[in-house]
Every structure is written in C-alpha cells, then in structure tokens.
Structure 1
Amino acid sequence: MKERPILFSGPMVRALLDGRKTQTRRVVKSRPWTTGDYFASGEYSTDLGYEASRGEFWAGFRHPSIHPDGSACYERCPYGAPGDRLWVRETWRGVVAINPPGKTTELGVARYVPDQQYCRRVEFQATQARDSEPWRPSIHMPRWASRITLEVTGVRVERLQDITEADAAAEGVESLRNEGEYWKDYLRSTAQCDELVCLNARDSFWTLWDSLNAARGFGWDANPWVWVVEFTRIN
C-alpha cells in the first residue's frame, strides 16, 4: 500500500466532507514521445489497460501511425491502484503562538509553519469563514496538516465526455433546491446568486471541469483522456 498526495479545490473538499464525492478525473499526461495531435485524435484504443503484478495500473494506448506493428505505449497511473491511499491537499494555514515564552499566549496566523510542533491548529479555507489573513496554497500542505485520506477502489481510463450522469453525480457536483432536479453551474454561480443552474449533473460537471481546467488547455471541448479514480473516504 502506497500513499500519495492529491490536490482538491475548495468546492470538492466540501463535497468530500459531505460524502458526495467518490470519483475524481485527472488529465492523462502524454509522454514526451507522444505528440499532442496524436494523443488527442481519438484514434487510440484504451482496451490495453491492465494491472501489473505489483498492483500498479497501466493504461495502454495504440495509434496506427505510431504503432503500425501492433505494439503500444503504456502510461502508469500516478494516483495508484486499488488499495493505495491518497491524502488530500487543500488551501490551508497554520495558527501558532506569536508571543515569546513566559508571556501570555496569543495566537496568530503564520506565513510559514516549519514543523508540526510549532502549530497550535490548522485551518482550512474550504470550511473557514473568509477573512483577510493569508492562506497557503494547497501544493504546500504537508502530510501532517491533511485532514482527509482516501482509499482507491478503482482506476480506469476514458475520454472526458464519456462520463455518465451517475458518474457526474459521483464527482460531487452540488444539487440545488429540488434534489436531483437542478445542479450548480460552477462557471456562473456566485455566493450572491445561484439562480443560474444546470438541469442535470453531467452539465454541472462540465462547468466544474472547465472552471478548473479550460485555462490549461484541457477544457470539455478538448475531450482529453482522463484517469478515473474511484475511492472511499477513510477519515
């Protein structure tokens, strides 16, 4: 069993805590010898995936122009295999004692927390009231500050737009008002107005995906290959 870190946005952290999120999709990063045009062309076959004897999941990709002899290239899942664990990194900050020893203890937000022994408590932006104190990016969260651990139960590869309605709901998108009838539009909804909604979970996931990935060139319309990681929350 291996442990790996994984980043989640604030809305998805809340979905994990609420028990709504049991899947995540992450872009399959192409190898240096795989050109972008080929990798996104849709001519690859993903029926070559298999689990190696050591429990790692590998997805096989074959393209007729690159592999005319019937060979294939393989990509190892960076998020592990069933039985492995993922600890969640989220936007956070550490609260420390800011007065010298012997003085009345006063707590304050630290711009940098070098070690767990100096931290009186950890706060999380996803579930904390907004204020002007600084937050640390999720990429800098150490293992000891993480509050959520997930156990991988399944891994597969598919194109982004192959997601089903049930899988979109399992991605943790938020149902609004009438349960299952209206879903959050993550591109247009604000804290002041959630009247702009989607009529199904799949469209809601589309807006969520684009809010996180379109600017990186992996938007819904690009239809990238994605790792589908299924999991259960163990704490």
Structure 2
Amino acid sequence: MKRQSLQFSEPHKQAILEGAKVQSRRILKPQPTKFTTAWYADAADSGRWVAMGPSPDNPSELRRTSSWVRCPYGKSGETIMLADEAGEPFATAVVVGVRIQRLQNLTESDARAEGTQALYQSSALLPGVPLQTAFALMWCERYGSHAWAANPWVWVVEYRHSSPYENLESQ
C-alpha cells in the first residue's frame, strides 16, 4: 500500500515547523457499518487494524465488525511526507504512534499536540475557550458544521518533524 502524505493548511504547516503540532487526526475511511466499540492492532503487524463490537448473541463477547484496515499514513517507525494544501512537500517526519479513536475522545493534551494552542494563542477570537472546544471549531471549519457532532472514527497519527524536504534529496 502506498502511503499518503499528510497535508496541512499554512497555519498548521507553521505550527509543525515550530514544533507545536505533533499529532494529526484524519477520518478513517470507510467507517465501520456495524456497531463498533474498539479497534485492535494486529500483534504480528502493527500496521493492520480490525474493529470489534459486541456479539449479538452475547453482548459481553467481542466480535469483528470490519475487515482488516491499514493506516494510509504509515505506522510507527516509518518516515512520512508532510505537504501543504497544494500537495507540495515541505518536510518529513517520523511516525511515533498510530491509533484509532472516536473524534470526541480528544483530550486536552491531544488538542495541544494538534497545535490548537499555538494556532489560537494570539487570537482574540477565542480567548479562554478550552482547547478541545477550539479544536472542535477548527474541525468544523475544515469538514463542515456537523463534522464534530458526527463523531467519526479517526486515525490519530503522532509524528516528530525530522527534516525539511530540501534535505531529502541530498541524503
């Protein structure tokens, strides 16, 4: 599977280059069609994930609710390309973690790792708003007014900016 680059708007690009954004959420496609409560990584291949949910016969038992899926952005230890909105690479990063979670399970530290504080620190638009709320507003700006309420399953990709794109060709 060819890995997709992670694309970012200009403010997010700057937050990455300043080290303030080290985590990104992307909607998992396709979303599971059956009731799902958790996702598990394959012990033999951390790049593969399967959804699990309660069994109709015995709700205390979990059963598969999806086929195996792979994160299109890579897995821990891999190098990924970071690109701007036009698809032009601006840096590489090393993936340090991947997980699947519900969008609304975002924590305060997740919102900070998403660069939310850096993006709104100097803004008079949202003074005193909790970081999760500021992130939810940004999410709706990008994906539509009901995108936060839909609470989709998302890929959470944690990364560390490693080098500007220009240095790749000389390595």
Instruction: Provide the residue aligned with 2:139 in structure 1.
Output: 209
Q: How many pairs are equivalent?
A: 156
Q: Secondary structure at the match of 1:83?
A: coil
- Unmatched 5+ stretches in structure 2: 164-171
Instruction: Provide the residue aligned with 1:7 in structure 2.
Output: 7
Pairwise CA distance, 1:51? 4.5
Hey, what's the Cα distance between the residues in 1 that align with 2:149 and 2:65? 26
Pairwise CA distance, 1:44? 0.5
1:59 touches 1:157 (CA, 8 Å); kept in 2? Answer: no
Q: Secondary structure at the match of 2:96?
A: strand
Pick from 220, 225, 232 the counterpart of residue 148 of structure 2: 220
Pairwise CA distance, 1:201? 1.3
Which protein has the bigger strand share? 2
Pick from 153, 157, 164 the counterpart of residue 100 of structure 2: 157
Hey, what's the Cα distance between the residues in 2 that align with 1:175 and 1:84? 26
1:60 maps to a residue whose letter is: A
The TM-score normalised by the length of structure 2 is 0.77
1:3 touches 1:85 (CA, 8 Å); kept in 2? Answer: no
Hey, what's the Cα distance between the residues in 1 that align with 2:65 and 2:50? 10
Pairwise CA distance, 1:21? 0.5
1:208 maps to a residue whose letter is: M
| 2:134 is aligned with 1:195 | no
Pairwise CA distance, 1:211? 1.1
Pairwise CA distance, 1:27? 0.3
1:81 maps to a residue whose letter is: K
The TM-score normalised by the length of structure 1 is 0.58
Pairwise CA distance, 1:63? 6.0
Hey, what's the Cα distance between the residues in 1 that align with 2:39 and 2:5? 28
Pairwise CA distance, 1:228? 0.6
- Unmatched 5+ stretches in structure 1: 92-137, 177-182, 185-192
Instruction: Provide the residue aligned with 1:56 in structure 2.
Output: 47
**Alignment RMSD (CA, Å):** 2.7
Identity value in percent: 33
Pick from 98, 111, 131 the counterpart of residue 168 of structure 1: 111
What is the correspondence of 1:82-231 to structure 2 with a 5 Å cutoff? 82-91=76-85, 138-139=86-87, 141=88, 146-175=89-118, 183=120, 194-197=123-126, 198-214=128-144, 219-231=147-159
- CA 1:234–1:19 in structure 2 vs 1: closer, same or farther (change >3 Å)? same
